[in-house]
């Protein structure tokens, strides 16, 4: 890549290229590189003037050096800027001798015949210009190319209007592309790769159609269950099944189904995304799963629900502290709600209550609720965590029977 002298080197090389052509075609003509806004600033009486009037980023190269730095700020690639140079070429001489038009013809022919700035031309221009002695444009891989710009009469008029009290002179615009300028910095290099592993994987993305319980597609999924991930192109080197950010190991993998047990303590109840991750870096789509919490039971089957600190305010209701043990654990950020429904048979009207959980500091499997204004009686208990409810048991008659708690 070239250094900061590249822009000036392009201009000097263009001047040298056109001067050689005019020496043969229009004897006595000279090529200057000044601002074309007056005759007292060095413009030639016969010849051409080169004026760089605009510089724009090159869209094809502007992002090729990303990323230049790592996340910790270390330089990994040399920063490089890619520019296009816009030149205004003006032509001077005696109109009665057609000198401006002869100079224009010579310049247009030269740049059409030699549109690429040759390395020899660059080296000669650098050798003839002391201030450019450190330029390395001639070593650039991408050679600079010239092409004429088709400016409308309006665009040309606007361009000449920036020159104060300067009458229009026969002119033509050219684009020089692409000039690459690179910072003279040394990026850090990693050690050479010792072992190279090459694997070929057909690019067929796995697709998850649905995630269902093994007992049936419409059955709810509770923590501790094994689910079936059904879809297409699921077989392959599965690295993990990601459920809500937790990576699980599959128990069974086939082309149309993957089975995985939802028993990891890090899982959380609620609406979770399910995705299959493969060793080769491929990933399936993300499918939704409603993972319901479970109220823990002891070895005898009794639900771990307790009632304490019962208070009778004298209005026929009770206040109390209800504690429920859940699986999986509940995070402090998750919204947890306790639902109490009077257990049938019940009197009319049927009583139902809901209470938010008390604040929690960290992850816990024991959640406390402060209930107030509850009529004494037996109530079915459900706990909702992040939109997913725990399940109720049913008796032989098709009625909900458990878990239940008594408010004395």
Q: Is residue 328 part of a domain?
A: yes
Based on the fold, state whether residues 174 and 228 are members of the same structural domain.
Answer: no
pLDDT band at 160 (very low <50, low <70, confident <90, very high): confident
Alpha-helical (H) ranges within 3-131 are: 6-25, 99-113, 119-128
CA distance 258 to 219: 18
Based on the fold, state whether residues 22 and 139 are members of the same structural domain.
Answer: yes
CA distance 92 to 396: 107
* CATH number, domain containing residue 349: 2.60.40
CA distance 112 to 131: 29
- Any idea how long the chain is? 408
Based on the fold, state whether residues 287 and 312 are members of the same structural domain.
Answer: no
8 A C-beta contact, residue 245 and residue 270: no
8 A C-beta contact, residue 51 and residue 34: yes
Question: According to the model, what pLDDT value does residue 202 have?
Answer: 58
Q: Is residue 189 part of a domain?
A: no
Q: Is residue 187 part of a domain?
A: no
pLDDT at 235 over 90: no
Based on the fold, state whether residues 57 and 159 are members of the same structural domain.
Answer: yes
Q: Is residue 57 part of a domain?
A: yes
* CATH number, domain containing residue 256: 2.60.40.10
pLDDT band at 156 (very low <50, low <70, confident <90, very high): confident
346 CB-near residues (< 8 Å, 6+ apart): 377
Number of domains making up the chain: 3
8 A C-beta contact, residue 321 and residue 407: no
Residue where a domain stops, chosen among 292, 315, 332? 292
pLDDT band at 304 (very low <50, low <70, confident <90, very high): very high
Based on the fold, state whether residues 248 and 352 are members of the same structural domain.
Answer: no
Q: Is residue 175 part of a domain?
A: yes
Question: According to the model, what pLDDT value does residue 2 have?
Answer: 83
pLDDT at 405 over 80: yes
Concatenate the DSSP letters of all residues of 280-339 into one string.
TS-B---EEEEEE-EE-B-TTS-B-EEEEEEE--SSS-EEEEEEEEEEEEE-TTS-EEEE
Radius of gyration of the chain (CA): 40
Based on the fold, state whether residues 329 and 258 are members of the same structural domain.
Answer: no
Q: Is residue 200 part of a domain?
A: no
pLDDT at 197 over 90: no
CA distance 158 to 29: 28
A 10 A CB-CB count for 386 gives 19
According to DSSP, residue 162 is labeled T
Based on the fold, state whether residues 178 and 259 are members of the same structural domain.
Answer: no
Based on the fold, state whether residues 70 and 172 are members of the same structural domain.
Answer: yes
Q: How far is CA 261 from CA 214, 239, 245, 252, in A?
A: 11, 15, 15, 10
Concatenate the DSSP letters of all residues of 179-217 into one string.
EEEE-------PPPPS------------EEEEEEETTBT
Based on the fold, state whether residues 106 and 125 are members of the same structural domain.
Answer: yes
Of the candidates 245, 241, 253, 375, the one whose C-alpha atom is nearest the C-alpha of residue 320 is 375
Question: According to the model, what pLDDT value does residue 185 have?
Answer: 67
Question: According to the model, what pLDDT value does residue 189 have?
Answer: 62
Question: According to the model, what pLDDT value does residue 69 have?
Answer: 67
Question: According to the model, what pLDDT value does residue 38 have?
Answer: 67
Q: 237-283: per-residue pLDDT in tens?
A: 899 999 988 999 999 999 999 999 999 999 999 999 999 998 877 88
What's the whole-number mean pLDDT along residues 97-115? 95
Q: Is residue 55 part of a domain?
A: yes
Q: 130-151: per-residue pLDDT in tens?
A: 999 999 898 888 899 999 999 8
Question: According to the model, what pLDDT value does residue 222 have?
Answer: 93
Based on the fold, state whether residues 32 and 171 are members of the same structural domain.
Answer: yes
Take residue 224 and report the two structure tokens written for it.
């501790």
Percent of the chain whose predicted confidence (pLDDT) is above 90: 61
pLDDT band at 220 (very low <50, low <70, confident <90, very high): very high
Residue where a domain stops, chosen among 245, 264, 292? 292
Q: Is residue 191 part of a domain?
A: no
Based on the fold, state whether residues 12 and 129 are members of the same structural domain.
Answer: yes
Percent of the chain whose predicted confidence (pLDDT) is above 70: 91
Based on the fold, state whether residues 66 and 154 are members of the same structural domain.
Answer: yes
Question: According to the model, what pLDDT value does residue 23 have?
Answer: 93
Residue where a domain stops, chosen among 235, 269, 292? 292
Take residue 113 and report the two structure tokens written for it.
């015949």
Q: Which domain holds residue 300?
A: 295-407
């Amino acid at each position: 890549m070239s250094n900061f002298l590249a822009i000036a080197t392009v201009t000097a090389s263009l001047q040298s290229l056109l001067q050689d052509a005019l020496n043969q075609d229009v004897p006595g003509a000279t090529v200057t590189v000044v601002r074309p806004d007056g005759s007292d600033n060095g413009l030639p009486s016969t010849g051409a003037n080169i004026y760089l009037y605009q510089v724009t980023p090159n869209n094809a190269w502007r992002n090729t050096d990303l990323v230049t730095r790592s996340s910790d700020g270390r330089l990994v690639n040399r920063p490089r800027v890619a520019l296009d140079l816009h030149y205004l070429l003006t032509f001077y001489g005696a109109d009665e001798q057609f000198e401006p038009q002869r100079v224009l013809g010579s310049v247009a022919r030269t740049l059409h015949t030699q549109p690429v700035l040759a390395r020899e031309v660059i080296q000669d221009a650098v050798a003839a210009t002391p201030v450019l002695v450190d330029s390395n444009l001639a070593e650039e891989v991408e050679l600079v190319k010239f092409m004429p710009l088709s400016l409308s009469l309006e665009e040309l008029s606007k361009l000449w209007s920036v020159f104060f009290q300067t009458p229009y002179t026969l002119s033509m615009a050219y684009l020089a592309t692409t000039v690459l300028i690179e910072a003279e910095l040394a990026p850090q290099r990693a050690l050479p790769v010792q072992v190279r592993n090459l694997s070929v994987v057909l690019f067929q993305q796995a697709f998850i159609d649905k995630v269902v319980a093994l007992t049936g597609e419409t059955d709810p999924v509770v923590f501790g269950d094994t689910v079936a991930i059904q879809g297409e192109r699921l077989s392959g080197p599965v690295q993990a099944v990601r459920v809500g950010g937790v990576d699980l190991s599959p128990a069974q993998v086939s082309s149309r189904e993957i089975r995985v047990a939802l028993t990891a303590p890090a899982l959380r109840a609620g609406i979770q995304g399910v995705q299959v991750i493969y060793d080769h870096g491929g990933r399936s789509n993300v499918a939704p799963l409603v993972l319901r919490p479970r109220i823990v039971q002891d070895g005898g089957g009794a639900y771990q629900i307790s009632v304490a600190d019962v208070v009778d305010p004298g209005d026929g209701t009770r206040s109390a502290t209800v504690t429920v043990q859940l699986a999986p654990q509940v995070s402090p950020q998750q919204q947890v709600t306790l639902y109490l429904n009077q257990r049938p048979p019940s009197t009319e009207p049927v009583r139902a209550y809901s209470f938010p959980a008390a604040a929690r500091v960290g992850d816990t499997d024991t959640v406390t609720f402060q209930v107030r204004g509850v009529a004494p009686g037996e109530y079915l208990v459900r706990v909702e965590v992040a939109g997913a409810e725990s399940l109720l048991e049913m008796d032989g008659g098709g009625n909900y029977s458990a878990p239940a708690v008594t408010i004395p």
